[in-house]
Structure 1
């Protein structure tokens, strides 16, 4: 979001995100294997903004289930092995909220976190969930984390039938640091495909898990179930990358670490 004030994305913002998910202009394919494709865009000179797009065809997974899994924060804490901490901060509208997410970065990089305004739009049996970074006075950057900036990140879910869907993940992020090339390569060739596979596996296990964890509670489908406190837009401001710490990790060498089992 490029405006000066925080706004709730409108239909045009969702249409723009969808067009970028479908566009091939400016994207270079870096991975194509086992129903997963990854594209990247080259960094602009003098900028540290990374753009990556991943697409996966998910068999035996309906678009509705994918939408539930990507929304269900309690379930994310179970399947997302990269998450350090995640929680919802407050509600803006029936289809927009503010939340916190921190994640593990490949060693020896410092871990990152974000505060984002997330919004979602069902379109028949297709769905979009997207976010961008905001500031909230009660959640300043932490000393042991690097506060990253999501310029625009999200998912587009397209139904391909009762039990098949296509998931597209699009991320335009400033990680607030000069990253070594091995990180960028690892993201497109290993981390992104691995993350997509984890989402697919999480979807296959969701129905059984949800039956044992408040099966009737889905506030993203039933806004009246949302118990988050209301947040006025005036409490939020745009998170400017230039106001955050920018660290140089470009010389850090990759370290061997045990990979979590899928």
Structure 2
């Protein structure tokens, strides 16, 4: 169909074609009123195809993480693609592996990094460029208990196994930062929130994002504690 071809063609070319048709129809209105309807038809087609193109683009972007994992023969039990589509994380519990993927822009292929559970040194949640909680191989269990009391009872759930929580009313950025035993690439970051507009911390959006990042942080915290037991 013509509409499908318009949706899948280059965005700039599509806008040029339909907007040109719109302008031609606009000037022809002065010749015959029937072009008035055609003018709005081209305008509606421009808006519709742009919306559908954006939806299709987003679907393809979201599938890019699965494609990268498949390409690298990584079977994920769970995975997450960052809100800016530039980084991702996946886990295979049977193989004791975590995959970190990153790229500079959405047109690039993902760089694939495979990390063994035993090589993870630290996991941290960074909010607005400040570390609000972290767990490391040397984290003390007592630190988690104290952190939970200071955070008002729910700190043990929110803060993970150790660290502190600093309250702010709004958030621009939430990042999961992993430190690994690799001198070449010792740190990997996955942005769960990276916004130009501050998100209220009492909003459903923030709670959903924090729930996602905290789940991954707690999962890696458990991995760190298990590694600690194996080494003692």
Instruction: Tell me the TM-score normalised to structure 1 length.
Output: 0.21
Work out which structure has the larger RCO, using CA pairs closer than 8 Å and 6 or more positions apart in sequence: 1
Instruction: Choose between structure 1 and 2: higher helix proportion.
Output: 2
Instruction: Choose between structure 1 and 2: higher strand proportion.
Output: 1
